[in-house]
A and B are shown apart, each in its own frame.
Chain A
């Protein structure tokens, strides 16, 4: 890394601070976000907090490590957590469709709710992956927070194609529900509006095009859906705005998770800047899966040169020496070291580009593990690394 040294992220101070009520782990896919969230949750619980970890689509083994076997949308007590400090750990997997259904049921009378739940557009919207998952994760977070049953909620954000989608989700849904298309779609049902002829003309062009594109039945379904949904729009927007405000509230902290790779750190940069724009508090960066921090201090170049020297001596015929039998293994060890060192040097360079751009962001590094986390002990170890103060 360059001369700049970022402050070290003090994980224990963050999780021990009773004012911290929500920790959001974000970052691009495949960087170990869920593992980080679970490890933080476990560590906080074993340090005395009453924690709920909300995860979205965890890997099967990780889910099993917390005793989660089904997607039942209810926080379950995790067994095997050390409770000497008086804390506890609950964990749940988000059921996106069920969460959505519950909101519909809460905001519409039973007849209308049934009509919405049966509509094919609603079914597509509520069970698809893009967008809805982000929105429902935030909705669930809001519900858990309002229930006040936990004093710390750790949430793992969905593996969006862009890690930023979940920040936009409430606003996007709000904008969509207020959109002109919706007004056009609902126009014929709400006849006699003062938009008058202009809209009607526009409308016939639009419906013409849309009927061609989607077919008359699709258009009818869309209109029915939008009309039925119309009564709930207000409630939806309010909830979305509440959640958004919750993310800005003082008790919320964001942790950006990244691997020391250009793509993951690019996403991390967007995140850092975006959180700043939204005035959402960033606690720091977790640099996960860092290779080769230990090991001998021998540069890749020197190591490689020595390997080549030995290989040359092997090729130039047998040297009658006591040590020549170990040449092949020594050469191999040097090549291996050169490879590991150049990987580690590259990771430093990539990470250095990030840290020098954001010198004030606290950072903690977690070494790459040879095996994935399977059990609480594994999560505990990751937690140790996260809280390691160097």
Chain B
């Protein structure tokens, strides 16, 4: 199998946001794995200093350094496809500031001195917009970095971004900085970063669960992002969807308890009607739950963005689970 069309061909920077508790980091990691196929090289970037990426990949804390963290899946029906590589980087504003000074001014030493003086405290305390520009700047730099001999070093960069409540400010770097710096290097830098973020090369995906609050935040987030000119809203990634047993038709109506008890007895569970009644109650609750999930899903679908759905993994997230989620994302065309 060769390269096939996905919903996000041409996107080099995938920003992943979502309400707290929806599994944003897990989905970002799964997306990075899904993108790392056919020899592709993907960088997964963390911005909030939580070391969530190291945890989902079961690795020691990540340094401020790009390191290989996993190998992407190969295509089973093509022996020559050996998968790809996932690299990871935990960005902190301090390191990003030193990089910035080194890259543009060759002033790393001055940077270290500024840092000692509390320059980074200054940036994060008094003007968080500046620190956001440094962080997004580092991610966009990685997305545009060329390898010797031409071509991009990374085929895609996945950014595990701040939650939905902060994402507009985080990405709208020009607006954040313009109040502070009308001209000057930081402003120029912000404009360069904005040119990447507000372009078809970048898509902002939103992770949600099928619950009211995350869905509401997703819809509000989409509206906020759409209001920023040039920003491409990506997919809605439904996470932790509970499986649906039986069809919705079959779920309708209360199951017959004695018949259920007889069937259970045939399966070797001879506990009389009590177990059957309890299971029937669970089925009825499941039906209500499915109904609620359906309602939330309909609301997300009405937002008009591609929707992907990932199952709840009851055993918890490990590398095998990430691969399973990555395969889902691939099968649904997200990567």
Interface, chain A (partner B; CB < 8 A): 28-31, 57, 59-61, 120-121, 123-125, 128-131, 159, 161-162, 172-173, 175-176, 179-181, 184, 205-206, 208-210, 212-218, 221-222, 225, 259, 261-264, 295-296, 298, 302, 306-307, 309-310, 313, 321-337, 339-340, 342-343, 346, 350, 370-372
Chain A CB within 10 Å — which of B162, B185, B213 has the most?
B213
In angstroms, Cα B19 to Cα A372, docked, is 15
Are A329 and B185 touching (Cβ within 8 A)?
Answer: no
For residue B216, CB closer than 8 A to chain A, the reply is: yes
Are B283 and A346 touching (Cβ within 8 A)?
Answer: no
Which of B112-120, B150-158, B198-206, B323-331 makes up part of the contact surface? B112-120
Interface SS, A side: helix
Are A162 and B50 touching (Cβ within 8 A)?
Answer: yes
Interface SS, B side: helix
In angstroms, Cα B131 to Cα A184, docked, is 20
Query: Interface size on B (CB < 8 Å)?
Result: 84
From known contacts A30-B21, A329-B260, infer whether A179 and B128 are also in contact, taking CB-CB under 8 Å.
no
Residue from B48, B55, B125 within 8 A of A173 (CB atoms)? B125
Please name all residues of chain B whose beta carbon is closer than 8 Å to the beta carbon of A128 when the two chains form the complex: 127-129, 169
In angstroms, Cα B117 to Cα A176, docked, is 10
Residue from A124, A175, A184, A313 within 8 A of B127 (CB atoms)? A124
In angstroms, Cα B20 to Cα A330, docked, is 37
Please name all residues of chain B whose beta carbon is closer than 8 Å to the beta carbon of A172 when the two chains form the complex: 121, 125
From known contacts A180-B118, A335-B245, infer whether A306 and B267 are also in contact, taking CB-CB under 8 Å.
yes
Please name all residues of chain A whose beta carbon is closer than 8 Å to the beta carbon of B292 when the two chains form the complex: 370-371
Are B268 and A306 touching (Cβ within 8 A)?
Answer: yes
Are B315 and A342 touching (Cβ within 8 A)?
Answer: yes
Q: For the A-B complex with A264-B21, A309-B267 known, give 19 more contacts whose Cβ atoms are closer than 8 Å.
A: A28-B20, A59-B217, A159-B163, A161-B48, A172-B125, A180-B117, A181-B119, A212-B185, A215-B187, A296-B274, A323-B265, A326-B259, A327-B266, A328-B246, A330-B267, A332-B245, A332-B283, A333-B282, A334-B264
In angstroms, Cα B177 to Cα A313, docked, is 67
Please name all residues of chain B whose beta carbon is closer than 8 Å to the beta carbon of A206 when the two chains form the complex: 110, 113-114, 117
In angstroms, Cα B260 to Cα A324, docked, is 9
For residue B165, CB closer than 8 A to chain A, the reply is: yes
Chain B CB within 10 Å — which of A181, A213, A215, A371 has the most?
A213
In angstroms, Cα B183 to Cα A214, docked, is 9
Q: Kindly report which residue of chain A lies nearest to residue B22, judged by CB atoms.
A: A30
Are A298 and B269 touching (Cβ within 8 A)?
Answer: yes
For residue B321, CB closer than 8 A to chain A, the reply is: no
In angstroms, Cα B276 to Cα A296, docked, is 9
Mask: chain B, 169-193; 1 = CB below 8 Å from A; 0 = not: 1000000100111111111000000
Nearest CB on B from A324, distance (A): 8
Are B286 and A296 touching (Cβ within 8 A)?
Answer: no
Q: Kindly report which residue of chain B lies nearest to residue A57, judged by CB atoms.
A: B165
From known contacts A176-B125, A296-B278, A326-B263, infer whether A370 and B289 are also in contact, taking CB-CB under 8 Å.
yes
- Considering the complex, which residues of chain B in the window 244-269 have a beta carbon less than 8 Å from any beta carbon of chain A? 245-246, 250, 255-256, 259-260, 262-269
Are B282 and A337 touching (Cβ within 8 A)?
Answer: yes
In angstroms, Cα B267 to Cα A321, docked, is 13
